[in-house]
Copies of this chain bind each other. A is one copy, B any other.
Amino acid sequence: MKAEIISIGDELLIGQVVNTNASWMASELNAMGVDVVKIVAIADDKSQIIRTLDMASAEADIILMTGGLGPTKDDITKKTLAEYFDSELVFHEPTFEQVKKIFKARNFEVTDVNKQQALIPDNCIPLFNKNGTAPGMWFEKDGKVYVSMPGVPFEMKPMMTEQVLPRLREKFNFGVIYHKTVMTTGMPESFLAEKIKDWENSLPGNIKLAYLPQPGIVRLRLTAKGNNEEELKKIVHTKIGELKKIIGDIIFGYDDVTLEEVVGELLRKNGKTVSTAESCTGGYISHLITSISGSSDYFEGAVVSYSNNVKNKVLGVPEEYLVKHGAVSKQVVEAMATGVKKIMGTDFAVATSGIAGPTGGTADKPVGTTWIAVATPGNVISKLYHFGEHRGRNIRRAALAALEMLRHELI
Contact = CB atoms under 8 A, between A and B. Distances in A.
B19 A19 contact: yes
Contacts of A388: 102, 105-106, 131
Nearest to A99: B190
B190 A291 contact: no
Interface string A189-229: 11101100000100000001111110100000101000000
Interface string A109-134: 10111100100000000000001010
A194 B111 CA distance: 8
A296 interface: yes
B193 A113 contact: yes
Contacts of A26: 12-15
A85 to B, nearest CB: 22
A87 interface: no
A17 interface: yes
Contacts of A39: 12-13, 19, 40-41
Interface residues of A, number: 117
Given A13-B26, A300-B306, A287 B287 contact: yes
Contacts of A84: none
A251 interface: no
Please report whether the interface of chain A is mostly helix, strand, loop or mixed according to DSSP.
Answer: mixed
Interface stretch (A30-38, A140-148, A159-167, A239-247): A30-38
Contacts of A266: none
B306 A189 contact: no
Interface stretch (A68-76, A168-176, A374-382): A68-76
Contact of A74 (B117, B210, B293): B210
State the oligomeric state as a number of copies: 2
A303 B275 CA distance: 11
Interface in A46-86: 48, 52, 55, 70-74
B19 A18 contact: yes
A30 B55 contact: no
A70 B189 contact: yes
A44 B335 CA distance: 49
Contacts of A112: 194
Contacts of A307: 296, 299-301
Contacts of A25: 15
Contacts of A70: 189-190, 211, 213
B13 A37 contact: yes
A290 B282 contact: yes
A343 interface: yes
B71 A193 contact: yes
Contacts of A303: 301-304, 314
Contacts of A290: 282-284, 304, 306, 356, 395
Contacts of A391: 291, 293
Given A71-B193, A283-B286, A310-B344, A30 B14 contact: yes
Contact of A299 (B210, B302, B306, B358): B306
Contacts of A188: 103, 106, 108
A16 interface: yes
A319 interface: no
B314 A305 contact: no
Given A13-B38, A287-B395, A300-B307, 15 more contacts: A13-B36, A15-B26, A16-B221, A71-B189, A103-B188, A106-B386, A111-B191, A113-B194, A133-B190, A276-B304, A278-B283, A282-B289, A293-B358, A294-B359, A302-B306
Q: Which 10 A-B pairs have the closest CB atoms?
A: A15-B27, A282-B290, A283-B286, A283-B283, A15-B26, A302-B304, A301-B310, A39-B41, A71-B190, A15-B23
14 contacts: A12-B26, A13-B37, A16-B23, A38-B40, A38-B48, A70-B189, A107-B386, A282-B287, A282-B289, A291-B391, A293-B357, A301-B305, A303-B304, A314-B343
